[in-house]
Amino acid sequence: MFKILEKQVHSPVIKQFVVEAPRVAKSCKAGQFIILQINEEGERIPLTIADFDREKGTITIVFQEVGKSTIQLGEMEAGDYIKDFVGPLGEPTHIENVGTVVCVAGGVGIAPVHPIARAFKEAGNHVIGIMGARSKDLLFWEDKMAAACSELHVTTDDGSYVRQGFVTDVLKDIIEEKGKENIPLVVAIGPQPMMRAAANLTKEYDIKTIVSLNALMVDGTGMCGCCRISVGGETKFVCVDGPDFDGHQVNWAELALRQVYFKSEEQLALEYRECTCRNGGAE
C-alpha cells in the first residue's frame, strides 16, 4: 500500500498527489512513469512522474479527471492508500548538453515536462520553456517551470492569461527569432493534437523533436501489446521502448485511431458509476 501524503487541487479536474514510494523515488529519472491501481478491482492507470524527492522517498503525480478511474482517483484524499504504485517504468529521457533545448508543455503535459526541463538545465543547456492551456484556470506550476527553465513563455488559447494563442505559435516565433540552426532539440509533451502540430512544425525546420506518448496501456511491461504504435514504419511499445519517441517518425493517424478503441466502453463505465453513485450504491 502507498500512502497519499499531500493532495493539491489545481482546478476542478486537475489534481496533484505526493505519494510515499521510496523505492520508486530512489531510482526514477526524468521521463519515466508509474502505473497505479487504486484497489483490487481498479483499472491500471499510467501516469508520468512529475517530480520526485529521493531523500523524502516521494513521487509527485498530476492527473486530469477524464473517466471513471481518474475521477475515482481524484476523490481520494491525503491519508488514503493506493493499492499498487509500480515504477519507474519506461526509458528515461536522454539528457545531454546540446546547447539549447525548447521544452513545450500543453495542458497536463506541464507536469511531465517539468523534470525533463530541469534535467536539461542541470546538464548545462539553455532551456526555453513554453507552457500553455486552454484558459488561465487550467494552468499550474508556472513557478516550478520558471525555476526549471532558463526562460519561460506562457500562453492561453482564449487569451485569459498573458498571450493568446497556441504553444505552437510561440514555438514558431522562437524558431524564427533564434534561428533553426541555434535550436538543436525540441521536446513537446501534451495532448496528442498538440504534439502532432509541434512535430509537423519542427519538421519544416528540420529540428529534432522528441514527444512523450500516452498510449492506451495495460501491463506496462510489453507483454500485452496494448500500447503498440508505429514509429518509422516499425512497431514499438510505448511502455518499454518509450514513452519518448521521434515526433517526426510517429504514425499519428494510427495512434489517434487506437486511442478511441475503447471509447464506448469508457463511456458506459462512467455512466454506470454516475448511476450507482446517484442511487447510493457501492461502485
Binding residue ranges for FAD? 62-64
SS3 label, residue 157: coil
Cell (9 digits) for 94 = 536522454
User: What residues are paired with 14 via a beta bridge?
Assistant: 64
CA dist., res. 243 & res. 145, Å (int): 21
On whether the CB atoms of residues 111 and 10 are closer than 8 A, the answer is: no
SS3 label, residue 144: helix
Planar angle of CA 196, 144, 25, nearest 5 degrees: 85
CA dist., res. 206 & res. 201, Å (int): 9
CA dist., res. 281 & res. 283, Å (int): 6
Binding site residues, as ranges?
Answer: 62-64, 224, 227, 239
On whether the CB atoms of residues 212 and 235 are closer than 8 A, the answer is: no
Binding site residues for [2Fe-2S] cluster, as ranges?
Answer: 224, 227, 239
Helices 192-205 and 167-178, packing angle to 10 deg: 20
Cell (9 digits) for 177 = 527569432
Give Cα 36 to chain centroid, integer Å.
15
On whether the CB atoms of residues 173 and 79 are closer than 8 A, the answer is: no
